[in-house]
C-alpha cells in the first residue's frame, strides 16, 4: 500500500499562520516532530548509536530523520529538501527614522520580494534577537502580531499621469509606525515585548509578516490564500510526508532537510551551500557503526527531491508561460526541468519522482520555463553539486510567487504531501 499522509488545506493554513519567520518554521516543525517521538540532537554532543527518530536545528534550518528500521550503515537515504525563508521586508541595523512628522522603521527587501504587494498591509514583526545574559548569549524568538507597521502607497493624484509608481527599495519601503518628530526606539519596543532590557539586545534578524490570516477560499473552497506558500507549502508537505514515512519504514533512511537563505543564494552557515546536510548524513552513518566508505556508498544510492513551489499558468498572463506545458492548480505536483540546470532534474531523478506519484495515485505535471525568460532556481542544483546526490526538482503549483500573499490549489496540498511520502518510502 502506498504511504498516505494526513495533509489538508486547513492544516497548511494553520502551519503558515504559526510560522511567520524561518525560526518559527523550525519551531513549528520541531513541535510536531517531538509529538511524534522525535528527539532533538545538538551538533556539539555525541549522537546516540541506537536506532530512532531524530532532528536538529541550526538557526532557521532543520534536518530530521529516522533510522528505526533501515538496514545497515550503508543504507541509502531518501531526502526531501526545501527552504524555510520567504521574500519579505527586513529591519535595518539603525531602524529609527523620521520624516515629515512621521516616525518610521527602516526596512529593506530580502530576496526577490514583489515590493508593490507589501504596500498598504498591516504588518507584524517576527524573527530572533541575541540577548546578553551576564557574560553569555541567548537567542530569543520574537513575534509581534499587532499591526504596528504599514508601508503606504503614494496617492494616485501625486503620481505622474496617474500611472503606477516605480518603487525604490532604498526610499520607498520604510514603514510608518507612529507620528511625531522624536523617534521612538524600535528595538526598545521589541526588547520590552521580549521582557529584556534594550541594551541587552546585541543582534537581531527581524522581518515583517502580513497579519491577514491564511484561508481556504474560492466558490467551492478549492483554493488556499496565504503568505509564504513559497516555500512553506513544501515545509508543511515535507513534514507530513516524513511523519507518514516513519510509520511505514523501509530500507532507505527518510530525511527532511529544510534550509534557510534559499531566497538570497543559500551561501550561509545554514543554507544549502553549507556543510549542514553532508555533515548530518555522515554522522548518521557514523552513529550506526559505519565508516567513510559506508557513507560514500550510502550517498551513491541516495536520491533527493528538492521541493519548491512551482508556477501555475496564470489566466491573465498565459503568454508568459511555455505554451506546451500548461500547469493547473489542483492538477497534482509539478516536475520541473531546465536544460541549463536551473533545476537539477535529470532522467533518473524524474523517473524516481514519477514512479512515486504513480505509486501514490497522484497526478503529475511537467514544467518547462519559457526559453526567452530568465528561470529561477532552487536548492536542487546546489544540493546535487555539494553532495553528488541524484536530485529532482519538484513543487506544488501556485500563482503570485514572491508576493506578500500567494494562491495555490487546496487539493494540491494532499497531492504534494502524498507524493513526497511515497518518494520517501519507495516500493521495491
Nearest to 305, CA basis, from 423, 147, 425, 136:
423
pLDDT at 71: 59
Q: Where are the beta strands (DSSP E) in 195-347?
A: 201-210, 215-217, 223-226, 253-259, 303-307, 310-311, 334-336
Strands of 61-66's sheet in order across: 39-40, 53-58, 61-66, 253-259, 77-83, 303-307, 390-395, 334-336, 365-367
pLDDT for 70 equals 58
Counts of helices then strands in the chain (DSSP H, E): 9, 20
Three-state secondary structure readout of 60-83: CEEEEEECCCCCCCCCCEEEEEEE
Half-sphere exposure of 14 (CA within 13 A, CB side): 8
Dist. CA 286–CA 274, nearest whole Å:
20
Peptide bond into 337 cis (omega under 30): no
Domain regions of the chain by residue span: 9-86+227-424, 88-210
Name residues whose C-beta falls within 8 Å of residue 318's C-beta, 6 or more positions apart in sequence.
Answer: none
pLDDT per residue as tens, the chain (428 positions): 567 899 999 999 999 999 999 999 999 999 999 999 999 999 999 999 999 999 999 999 999 999 987 556 688 999 999 999 999 999 999 999 999 999 999 999 999 999 999 999 999 999 999 999 999 999 999 999 999 999 999 999 888 877 778 899 999 999 999 999 887 899 999 999 999 999 999 999 999 999 999 999 999 999 999 999 999 999 999 999 999 999 987 889 999 999 999 999 999 999 999 999 999 999 999 999 999 999 999 999 999 999 999 999 999 999 999 999 999 999 999 999 999 999 999 999 999 999 999 999 999 999 998 988 888 899 999 999 999 999 999 999 999 999 999 999 999 999 999 999 999 999 87
What's the angle, vertex CA 33, arms to CA 409 and CA 22, rounded to 5? 60
Does the annotation list 402 as a binding residue? yes
Helix axes 380-387, 276-287, angle to 10 degrees: 50
Q: Please, how many CA atoms are within 13 Å of residue 345, restricted to the half-sphere of its CB?
A: 24
What's the pLDDT at 2? Answer: 66
The C-alpha atoms of residue 239 and residue 80 are separated, in whole angstroms, by 9
Q: Give the pLDDT score at 162.
A: 75
The beta strand positions in 30-186, using DSSP E, are 39-40, 53-58, 61-66, 77-83, 88-99, 102-110, 123-133, 136-149, 175-179
Question: Does the domain spanning 9-86+227-424 belong to CATH 3.40.630.10?
Answer: yes
CATH for 88-210 (1.10.10.10, 3.40.430.10, 3.10.20.30, 2.30.250.10): 2.30.250.10
- Cell numbers for 203: 543582534
Report the pLDDT value the prediction gives residue 249, as an integer from 0 to 100: 78
Amino acid at each position: 500500500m502506498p504511504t498516505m499522509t494526513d495533509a489538508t488545506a486547513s492544516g497548511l493554513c494553520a502551519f503558515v499562520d504559526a510560522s511567520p519567520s524561518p525560526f518559527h518554521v523550525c519551531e513549528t516543525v520541531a513541535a510536531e516532530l517531538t509529538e511524534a517521538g522525535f528527539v532533538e540532537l545538538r551538533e556539539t554532543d555525541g549522537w546516540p548509536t541506537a536506532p530512532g527518530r531524530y532532528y536538529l536545528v541550526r538557526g532557521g534550518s532543520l534536518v530530521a530523520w529516522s533510522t528505526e528500521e533501515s538496514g545497515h550503515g550503508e543504507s541509502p537515504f531518501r531526502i526531501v529538501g526545501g527552504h524555510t525563508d520567504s521574500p519579505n521586508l527586513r529591519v535595518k541595523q539603525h531602524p529609527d527614522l523620521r520624516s515629515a512628522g512621521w516616525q518610521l522603521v527602516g526596512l529593506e527587501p530580502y530576496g526577490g520580494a514583489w515590493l508593490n504587494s507589501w504596500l498598504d498591509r498591516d504588518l507584524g514583526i517576527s524573527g530572533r534577537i541575541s540577548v546578553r545574559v551576564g557574560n553569555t548569549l541567548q537567542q530569543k524568538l520574537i513575534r509581534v502580531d499587532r499591526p504596528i507597521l504599514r508601508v503606504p502607497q503614494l496617492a494616485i493624484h501625486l503620481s505622474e499621469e496617474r500611472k503606477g509608481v516605480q518603487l525604490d527599495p532604498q526610499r520607498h519601503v520604510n514603514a510608518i509606525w507612529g507620528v511625531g518628530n522624536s523617534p521612538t526606539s524600535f528595538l526598545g519596543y521589541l526588547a520590552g515585548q521580549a521582557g529584556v532590557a534594550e541594551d541587552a539586545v546585541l543582534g537581531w534578524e527581524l522581518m515583517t509578516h502580513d497579519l491577514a490570516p491564511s484561508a481556504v477560499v474560492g466558490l467551492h473552497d478549492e483554493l488556499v490564500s496565504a503568505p509564504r506558500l513559497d516555500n512553506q507549502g513544501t515545509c508543511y508537505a515535507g513534514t507530513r510526508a516524513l511523519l507518514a514515512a516513519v510509520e511505514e519504514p523501509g530500507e532507505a533512511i527518510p530525511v527532511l532537510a529544510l534550509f534557510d537563505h534559499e531566497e538570497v543564494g543559500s551561501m550561509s552557515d545554514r543554507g544549502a551551500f553549507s556543510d549542514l546536510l553532508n555533515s548530518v548524513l555522515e554522522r548518521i552513518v557514523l552513529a550506526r557503526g559505519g565508516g567513510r566508505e559506508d557513507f560514500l556508498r550510502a550517498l551513491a544510492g541516495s536520491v533527493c527531491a528538492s521541493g519548491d513551489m512551482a508556477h501555475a499558468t496564470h489566466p491573465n498572463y498565459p503568454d508568459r508561460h511555455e505554451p506546451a506545458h500548461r500547469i493547473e492548480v489542483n492538477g497534482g505536483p509539478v516536475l520541473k526541468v531546465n536544460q541549463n540546470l536551473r533545476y537539477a532534474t535529470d532522467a533518473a531523478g524524474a523517473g524516481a519522482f514519477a514512479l512515486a506519484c504513480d505509486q501514490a495515485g497522484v497526478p503529475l505535471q511537467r514544467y518547462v520555463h519559457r526559453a526567452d525568460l530568465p528561470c529561477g532556481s532552487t536548492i536542487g542544483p546546489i544540493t546535487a553539486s555539494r553532495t553528488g546526490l541524484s536530485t529532482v526538482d519538484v513543487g506544488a503549483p501556485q500563482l503570485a510567487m514572491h508576493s506578500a500573499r500567494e494562491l495555490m490549489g487546496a487539493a494540491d496540498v494532499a497531492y504534494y504531501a502524498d507524493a513526497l511520502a511515497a518518494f520517501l518510502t519507495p516500493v521495491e
